[in-house]
Amino acid sequence: MVFDESFIRAARLQENSADERLGEHHAPAVRPRRPWVRLPGSRQALLLVLLIVIAFGTAIYMGVRHPYKAAEPGLGAQPLRSSVVPLTPPGAVPGGAPGDLYAHSPAAHFRVGAAGVTLPANTARTPHFSGGQVVEALRLAKEYLIRSSIDPATLTGGNVRSVRLLLDTGQLDQFDRSMARPVDDGRHAATGWLIRFDHGTTALADRNVRVDGTLGASESGPDSLDVTADYTFVYAVRATGGADQHAAHGTGKPVPGASSLFTVRREIHFRLDRADLADHRLEVTQSSLQAGPMACAPQADVLRPLLAGQHAGDARPAGTDPYSRQWANPSLCGRLAATSQPTPSHPIR
């Protein structure tokens, strides 16, 4: 009688060998076979299926109970809050040659351009940030000041991409809206983010901006640094072909060929977390700007300096009703001190 291999493998009993019977005198002649011994192919398939099930189960469990916490709401980038205060001149704006104006103004000792934005001489580490991280935060703030306040392309209404690249991604929508549809609401003024002039009426008479101020950094928490910049920028500006439109914001026509000085005081607060430092970005949380000589008028989109020979006129901010429940950002206006104006040796009249 001949049995095929499949019949033998399917047998439930297996006869012990002669050695097995000699070793155990009372051992039975046969022993039952284990199911997976009878079916070696099925055993491998079963183990493979079992491993696949375990892998899928582990993946599903880790997906539901993953060890990483989701980002908590409210911990993203803060929106910028800004204010712009025009400073009106006490009389006619002095005019002259740029070099003469600078030499006879409080900006005579200011440095030129980026050289005027200096880091603190002594920068110490904080409890949760190294000295190198603090220096990096200060350098990012300096770079932002240069791109937003000194770069001629920014000042003359050019591309603002260089400024945008430095912002935390959480502020990009607010920045884009401020550039596209500037509004004097304390959040969406283009002049809260950067300095730019009405290029249709105002041009730079000297590209060498005079700069002076201070930078400082402190730790606001275990995961963030605050950088404060308080800088004064002085620009020599002149009229362009459309400068006669300034009569709508002041009185008198600009003196042909004359330059004048325009002064901007910017106090900016930056916030940087560890991700910002790694990504070479920052948050601009607050910007306060005082600038003159200007007329008392909203300056949300561009700054409109009063040029040589012009007066502020009688323009005043619109009235604010404290009884109204409708929120309105009150327009502010100040007076430019006479001592802040240059006294050129050869004024142009």
Write down the pLDDT at residue 161. Answer: 95
- What's the pLDDT tens digit per position in 188-216? 999 999 999 998 899 999 999 999 999 99
Q: For residue 94, is the peptide bond before it cis, meaning its omega torsion is within 30 degrees of 0?
A: no
Q: Let me know whether 29 and 134 are in one domain.
A: no
Q: Tell me which residue range forms the domain holding 28.
A: 7-64
**CB atoms near residue 80 (< 10 Å):** 23
Q: Let me know whether 159 and 49 are in one domain.
A: no
Number of domains in the chain: 2
Write down the pLDDT at residue 262. Answer: 97
Q: If you search the block for the tokens 């290029």, which residue do you land on?
A: 199
Indicate the DSSP class of residue 116: G
Q: Let me know whether 144 and 43 are in one domain.
A: no
Residue 1 inside a domain? The answer is: no
Q: Please say if the pLDDT value at position 132 is more than 70.
A: yes
Residue 346 inside a domain? The answer is: no
Q: Let me know whether 220 and 303 are in one domain.
A: yes
Q: Let me know whether 96 and 213 are in one domain.
A: yes
Q: How confident is the model at residue 14 (pLDDT cuts 50, 70, 90)?
A: low
Cβ(124)–Cβ(113) below 8 Å: no
Q: Let me know whether 33 and 151 are in one domain.
A: no
Distance CA(251)–CA(58), nearest Å, equals 77
Q: How confident is the model at residue 280 (pLDDT cuts 50, 70, 90)?
A: very high
Q: Please say if the pLDDT value at position 121 is more than 60.
A: yes
β-pairing, 283-292 vs 259-273, is antiparallel
This prediction has a pTM of 0.75
